Structure 1
Protein backbone atom coordinates (compact mmCIF):
# COMPACT_ATOMS: atom_id res chain seq x y z
CA UNK A 1 0.00 0.00 0.00
CA UNK A 2 1.49 3.32 -1.08
CA UNK A 3 0.47 6.38 0.87
CA UNK A 4 2.37 9.58 0.23
CA UNK A 5 2.26 11.92 3.20
CA UNK A 6 2.96 14.79 0.81
CA UNK A 7 -0.33 14.12 -0.96
CA UNK A 8 -2.41 13.83 2.19
CA UNK A 9 -2.68 16.31 4.99
CA UNK A 10 -3.19 14.59 8.34
CA UNK A 11 -5.53 14.42 10.11
CA UNK A 12 -7.92 13.53 7.31
CA UNK A 13 -11.01 11.46 6.65
CA UNK A 14 -9.72 8.28 5.03
CA UNK A 15 -11.93 5.65 3.38
CA UNK A 16 -10.96 1.99 3.64
CA UNK A 17 -12.90 -0.97 2.26
CA UNK A 18 -12.75 -4.59 3.38
CA UNK A 19 -13.93 -7.43 1.15
CA UNK A 20 -14.46 -11.00 2.31
CA UNK A 21 -16.65 -14.03 1.94
CA UNK A 22 -19.95 -13.60 3.74
CA UNK A 23 -19.65 -15.05 7.23
CA UNK A 24 -21.16 -14.60 10.65
CA UNK A 25 -17.94 -13.08 11.99
CA UNK A 26 -16.43 -10.95 9.18
CA UNK A 27 -18.09 -7.71 10.26
CA UNK A 28 -17.31 -8.17 13.96
CA UNK A 29 -13.69 -9.14 13.28
CA UNK A 30 -13.18 -6.20 10.88
CA UNK A 31 -14.79 -3.78 13.35
CA UNK A 32 -12.50 -5.03 16.11
CA UNK A 33 -9.40 -4.40 14.00
CA UNK A 34 -10.54 -0.98 12.79
CA UNK A 35 -11.45 0.13 16.32
CA UNK A 36 -8.03 -0.93 17.58
CA UNK A 37 -6.42 1.51 15.11
CA UNK A 38 -9.17 4.17 15.01
CA UNK A 39 -10.92 4.11 18.40
CA UNK A 40 -12.88 7.26 17.59
CA UNK A 41 -14.61 5.59 14.61
CA UNK A 42 -18.04 7.08 13.90
CA UNK A 43 -20.25 4.03 13.27
CA UNK A 44 -22.59 6.15 11.15
CA UNK A 45 -19.72 6.25 8.62
CA UNK A 46 -19.62 2.47 8.21
CA UNK A 47 -21.57 0.76 5.45
CA UNK A 48 -21.83 -2.81 4.28
CA UNK A 49 -23.01 -4.32 1.04
CA UNK A 50 -23.65 -7.91 0.01
CA UNK A 51 -22.72 -9.11 -3.45
CA UNK A 52 -25.55 -9.92 -5.84
CA UNK A 53 -25.49 -13.62 -4.94
CA UNK A 54 -24.74 -13.00 -1.27
CA UNK A 55 -21.37 -14.77 -1.39
CA UNK A 56 -19.26 -11.72 -0.56
CA UNK A 57 -19.55 -8.81 1.83
CA UNK A 58 -17.86 -5.43 1.47
CA UNK A 59 -17.55 -3.18 4.49
CA UNK A 60 -16.66 0.47 3.94
CA UNK A 61 -15.20 2.52 6.78
CA UNK A 62 -14.31 6.19 6.90
CA UNK A 63 -11.79 6.77 9.67
CA UNK A 64 -10.21 9.96 10.92
CA UNK A 65 -6.61 9.15 10.05
CA UNK A 66 -3.96 10.96 12.03
CA UNK A 67 -0.85 9.62 10.27
CA UNK A 68 0.46 7.58 7.38
CA UNK A 69 1.71 4.99 9.87
CA UNK A 70 -1.78 4.57 11.34
CA UNK A 71 -3.29 3.85 7.92
CA UNK A 72 -0.53 1.39 6.98
CA UNK A 73 -0.83 -0.47 10.31
CA UNK A 74 -4.61 -0.72 9.92
CA UNK A 75 -4.46 -1.96 6.33
CA UNK A 76 -1.72 -4.45 7.21
CA UNK A 77 -3.66 -5.95 10.11
CA UNK A 78 -6.88 -6.14 8.08
CA UNK A 79 -5.06 -7.86 5.20
CA UNK A 80 -3.57 -10.39 7.63
CA UNK A 81 -7.03 -11.41 8.89
CA UNK A 82 -7.97 -14.86 7.53
CA UNK A 83 -11.52 -13.78 6.71
CA UNK A 84 -10.45 -10.76 4.66
CA UNK A 85 -9.80 -11.31 0.96
CA UNK A 86 -8.93 -7.74 0.00
CA UNK A 87 -8.37 -4.31 1.52
CA UNK A 88 -8.88 -1.27 -0.70
Structure 2
Protein backbone atom coordinates (compact mmCIF):
# COMPACT_ATOMS: atom_id res chain seq x y z
CA UNK A 1 0.00 0.00 0.00
CA UNK A 2 1.35 3.44 -0.92
CA UNK A 3 1.87 5.80 1.96
CA UNK A 4 0.64 9.37 1.71
CA UNK A 5 3.09 12.10 2.55
CA UNK A 6 2.64 15.82 2.72
CA UNK A 7 5.19 18.49 1.85
CA UNK A 8 6.22 18.92 5.47
CA UNK A 9 7.53 15.35 5.51
CA UNK A 10 9.72 15.85 2.44
CA UNK A 11 12.48 17.55 4.43
CA UNK A 12 14.35 17.13 7.67
CA UNK A 13 14.41 20.88 8.19
CA UNK A 14 12.04 22.68 10.52
CA UNK A 15 10.93 26.05 9.21
CA UNK A 16 11.68 28.83 9.74
CA UNK A 17 15.40 28.13 10.00
CA UNK A 18 18.75 29.72 9.22
CA UNK A 19 19.88 28.37 5.87
CA UNK A 20 23.22 28.85 4.09
CA UNK A 21 23.53 28.51 0.34
CA UNK A 22 26.93 28.42 -1.36
CA UNK A 23 27.13 29.58 -4.96
CA UNK A 24 30.14 29.10 -7.24
CA UNK A 25 30.81 31.16 -10.35
CA UNK A 26 33.49 32.94 -12.30
CA UNK A 27 35.66 35.38 -10.38
CA UNK A 28 34.23 38.60 -11.79
CA UNK A 29 33.88 41.91 -9.91
CA UNK A 30 30.07 41.76 -9.99
CA UNK A 31 29.41 38.07 -9.25
CA UNK A 32 28.53 38.62 -5.58
CA UNK A 33 26.10 41.42 -6.50
CA UNK A 34 24.66 39.24 -9.28
CA UNK A 35 23.91 36.41 -6.84
CA UNK A 36 22.36 38.80 -4.31
CA UNK A 37 20.16 40.36 -7.01
CA UNK A 38 19.19 36.93 -8.30
CA UNK A 39 18.02 35.77 -4.87
CA UNK A 40 16.44 39.03 -3.64
CA UNK A 41 12.98 38.34 -5.15
CA UNK A 42 12.91 34.99 -3.34
CA UNK A 43 14.55 35.69 0.02
CA UNK A 44 14.43 39.48 0.27
CA UNK A 45 17.28 41.92 0.66
CA UNK A 46 20.45 40.22 1.89
CA UNK A 47 22.34 42.00 4.67
CA UNK A 48 26.06 42.56 4.13
CA UNK A 49 26.94 40.53 7.22
CA UNK A 50 25.04 37.53 5.79
CA UNK A 51 27.42 37.24 2.82
CA UNK A 52 30.86 35.62 2.75
CA UNK A 53 33.11 35.21 -0.26
CA UNK A 54 36.10 33.04 -0.94
CA UNK A 55 38.27 32.83 -4.03
CA UNK A 56 39.48 29.54 -5.44
CA UNK A 57 43.14 28.62 -5.15
CA UNK A 58 43.84 29.68 -8.73
CA UNK A 59 41.65 32.81 -8.45
CA UNK A 60 39.48 31.57 -11.32
CA UNK A 61 36.28 31.00 -9.32
CA UNK A 62 34.47 32.77 -6.51
CA UNK A 63 32.34 31.07 -3.86
CA UNK A 64 29.60 33.22 -2.38
CA UNK A 65 27.85 32.00 0.77
CA UNK A 66 24.58 33.67 1.67
CA UNK A 67 22.80 32.96 4.94
CA UNK A 68 19.08 33.67 5.16
CA UNK A 69 16.03 32.68 7.17
CA UNK A 70 14.25 30.04 5.11
CA UNK A 71 10.51 30.02 5.67
CA UNK A 72 9.55 26.89 3.71
CA UNK A 73 10.80 24.04 1.57
CA UNK A 74 9.19 25.75 -1.42
CA UNK A 75 11.33 28.83 -0.79
CA UNK A 76 14.53 26.75 -0.59
CA UNK A 77 13.53 24.91 -3.77
CA UNK A 78 12.93 28.25 -5.52
CA UNK A 79 16.41 29.43 -4.50
CA UNK A 80 18.05 26.39 -6.06
CA UNK A 81 15.86 26.59 -9.17
CA UNK A 82 16.88 30.21 -9.74
CA UNK A 83 20.55 29.44 -9.18
CA UNK A 84 20.70 26.37 -11.41
CA UNK A 85 18.87 28.22 -14.21
CA UNK A 86 21.41 31.05 -14.20
CA UNK A 87 24.21 30.70 -16.75
CA UNK A 88 26.78 32.46 -14.54
CA UNK A 89 26.34 29.96 -11.71
CA UNK A 90 28.67 26.98 -12.01
CA UNK A 91 27.35 25.13 -8.96
CA UNK A 92 25.12 25.72 -5.93
CA UNK A 93 25.25 23.83 -2.64
- TM bucket by the smaller chain? 0.7 to 0.9
Structure 1's consecutive aligned runs of 4 or more residues displaced over 2 angstroms after TM superposition are 40-43
CA–CA separation in structure 1 for the residues paired with 2:45 and 2:27: 26
Q: Unaligned stretches of 5+ in structure 2?
A: 1-9
Which residue does the alignment assign to 2:6? none
> Size of the alignment, in residue pairs?
84
TM-score, normalised to structure 2, is 0.83
TM-score, normalised to structure 1, is 0.87
Q: Offset at 1:24?
A: 2.8
Residue among 10, 15, 37 paired with 1:10: 15
Q: Unaligned stretches of 5+ in structure 1?
A: none
How well do the aligned residues superpose, as a CA RMSD in angstroms? Answer: 1.2
CA–CA separation in structure 1 for the residues paired with 2:70 and 2:64: 17
Which residue does the alignment assign to 1:44? 49
Q: Deviations over 1:8-67 (max 9, x none)?
A: 110000010000111233212111012111115332021001111210000001110000
Which residue does the alignment assign to 1:60? 65
Residue among 82, 85, 88 paired with 2:87: 82
